[in-house]
Amino acid sequence: MQRLIHLRDCLHHHNHRYHVLDDPEITDGEYDRLFAELLDLERQFSHWVTPDSPSQRVGAKPLSRLVEVRHGVPMLSLDNLFQEADVGGFDRRIREGLGRDEAIVYVAEPKLDGVAVSLLYRRGLLQRAATRGDGQVGEEVTAQLRTLATIPLQLAGEGTIPDLLEVRGEVYMPLAGFEQWNHVARERGEKPFANPRNAAAGSLRQLDANKTAERPLHFFCHGLGQWEGGTMPEEHDAILQRLKGWRLPVCDLWERVVGVEGCVDYYRRMEARRASLPYEIDGVVYKVNRLADRERLGYVARSPRWAAAHKFVPREVSTRLLGVDFQVGRTGVLTPVARLQPVSVGGVTIANATLHNLQEMALKDVRVGDTVMVRRAGDVIPEVVGVVLSRRSPDALPMVWPTHCPGCGANVEQEEGKVALRCTAGLACAAQRKEGIKHFVSRRALDIEGMGDRMVEWLVQAGLVQDWADIFFLANHRARLCTLDRLGEKSVDNLLSAIETAKQRHLGQFLFALGIRDVGETIALNLARHFGTLDHLMAADREALAGVSEVGSVVAERVCQFFQDAHHRAVLERLREIEGTQWWRMPTSHPSSTTHQPLAGKTVVLTGTLKQMTRQEAKARLEGLGAKVSGSVSERTFLVVAGESPGSKRQRAEALGVRILTEEEWMGLLEGRFSV
Ligand code: IVH
């Protein structure tokens, strides 16, 4: 029994370190062993299973419907402020209401774009969770919310926890989880979520909590409902700190600010950070800090006088779909692209947006002439998220799928079990060739500086480059290059010398540059290391290929097909004629096996935004190199990988003298060009 209690406490603790603090103390394997031991003991002594046991997050039976619950204290909404000038009026009404001249202390917080929920804890134990509903009556979602690892089933920590404590906050889906979920949905030909808020709402309302458990949901609390049988601090900032101390997740971006200037300054800083946050926020919230002041101010209709939401410009707007073009990708896939009535989304004018694929267009029943919702968030390509059916005009035209490639006129085909339409012409298709050239020279491939997408477009249009090999004969056309749009002599020289440098890339980078379907950087590197030279690789049969780390039968087949293709062989022959190229082999000094783990046992921290991969990907890659990835910098940190806008973690690393890698160096480390 004692062991059981100990295990439960231990798992609660490690759960909190991992999911809330992002700073695990044990490895996943160690966690799994503790969890397995708990399950084993609970199987033997089932009468000792308590509702707060970490084993009780999933497994509830599906409900037949959601039950209504009445909130003890109504869940209110917030008044919106749309302009900076509105903040003055909000602050003035508060000072007038309180009869005070001096500046008011507020707590400013991000306004999370998710679903409002209430969590009721009795004697620290999660008893009931509910959605906001109409503010008076919501729906019970206890079983669903218990599956969120960030929500503690049992509060613990310093200070007495009130007998009854209602915590309020927001359930949201982080952007990475949302993109990943939609990516998988698209691959399966299922309808993706329109935006992270819909994703969170839909996931919470699942009658089968096991489905909710599969969704990447998180929670932040931002205040209290009712509490009884205990005391709580009298200021909001102290309450947030106390909730955090009890293991509840609180978004760390809140600040205590003073007066209108403090609020507006916070708003501007959050707006600047918005694009780099890992979750979506649609504004900031200002709240009077002192609870006694809040009480005096009271409410108007359904919103408090003591708080307001200051909204950002929306990231989702409606506009008209004027037409649909089909773009041919590097592997021949036709992507439908919407031509839109130009519209400003978050300060950027958008005239084109992706429709992803045909199946999705069909599921969403998108028609030319429709009013559509367009979304733009962070760095992702703008997308059409849905149709406003209520505004469909009778002459909106149902879609007609192309039967021929818009790039070369060849037939298009739909692979069995696949969603995409594909041009059948391979490298004979000029559009595919052009996209292949863009990939070949891109940063993660041969990395020819100064040869971005626009430059490739020019070179192809000018007839100077028709395939990969032509790039290396550009020096013969120096005079023509100098006459190209906006290209001075100096730029031409730089470009030609970057092309020369690209001859030094190794086989791993070259294989990736070839753009063989399903051969990403890791697989390209594994193949290069395994076979050592391109000749050995080309001579390998399917079986030998499939034996390489992370290469299955599908990839093996793709590699074989690629090298059997006559066009590919012809271009490779031309590439071989270029003098001084190093692409054909892997340097012998290069780390030779996939078990190479330069960061074995070391603690690494990621901070800032990485341009070339998501956080999750970077974390997985670091773990692949043997590192333990932690959320905070300490004396034990071996190194920090800092992307753009790195913030306080970088400062702390500098203060502690911890080594900091730029994204460039980090990519070098991954590719074995750089060592630590
Ligand atoms: S405080 C009485 N703080 O915005 C005020 N709300 O329009 C209670 N929201 O339903 C809300 N982030 O779900 C507060 N930091 C934050 C918030 C936040 C998002 C949501 C909340 C509420 C809605 C109000």
Whole-number pLDDT of residue 60: 66
C-beta of residue 168 within 8 angstroms of C-beta of residue 117: yes
Q: Phi and psi dihedrals of 656, rounded to 5? A: -90, 0
Q: What is the pLDDT of residues 10-22, one digit of tens each?
A: 888 888 887 777 7
Whole-number pLDDT of residue 361: 87
Whole-number pLDDT of residue 593: 42
Residues in Cβ contact with 460 at an 8 Å cutoff, skipping those fewer than 6 apart: 430, 434, 437, 466
User: How far, in Å, is the centroid of ligand 1 from the Cα of 78?
Assistant: 7
Q: What is the pLDDT of residues 466-489, one digit of tens each?
A: 999 999 999 999 888 888 767 788
Whole-number pLDDT of residue 54: 86
Residue type, 287: K
Q: Which of 61, 111, 211, 364 is catalytic?
A: 111
DSSP per-residue codes, 331-375: TSBEEEEEEEEEEEETTEEEEEEE---HHHHHHHT--BT-EEEEE
**Token couple for 547:** 């034996």
Work out which ligand 1 atom sits closest to the CA atom of 115.
Answer: 13
β-bridge pairing 334-345 and 316-328? antiparallel
For atom 2 of ligand 1, which residue has the closest CA? 76
Taking phi first (over 0 means left), then psi (-120 to 50 degrees means alpha), and beta for anything else, what does residue 244 get? alpha
Q: Can you say how many angstroms the Cα of residue 444 is from the centroid of all Cα atoms in its chain?
A: 20
C-beta of residue 307 within 8 angstroms of C-beta of residue 291: no
Work out which ligand 1 atom sits closest to the CA atom of 169.
Answer: 13
User: How far, in Å, is the centroid of ligand 1 from the Cα of 111?
Assistant: 7
**Token couple for 406:** 């818009």
Which parts of the chain register pLDDT below 70? 59-60, 378-379, 485, 588-597, 616, 620, 673
State the pTM of this model. Answer: 0.72
Q: Can you say how many angstroms the Cα of residue 371 is from the centroid of all Cα atoms in its chain?
A: 28
C-beta of residue 173 within 8 angstroms of C-beta of residue 218: yes
Work out which ligand 1 atom sits closest to the CA atom of 309.
Answer: 7
C-beta of residue 218 within 8 angstroms of C-beta of residue 145: no
User: How far, in Å, is the centroid of ligand 1 from the Cα of 670?
Assistant: 42
Whole-number pLDDT of residue 378: 65
- Helix (H) / strand (E) containing 641: strand 637-642
For atom 16 of ligand 1, which residue has the closest CA? 111
Q: Is 111 a catalytic residue?
A: yes
- Helix (H) / strand (E) containing 385: strand 383-387
For atom 17 of ligand 1, which residue has the closest CA? 111
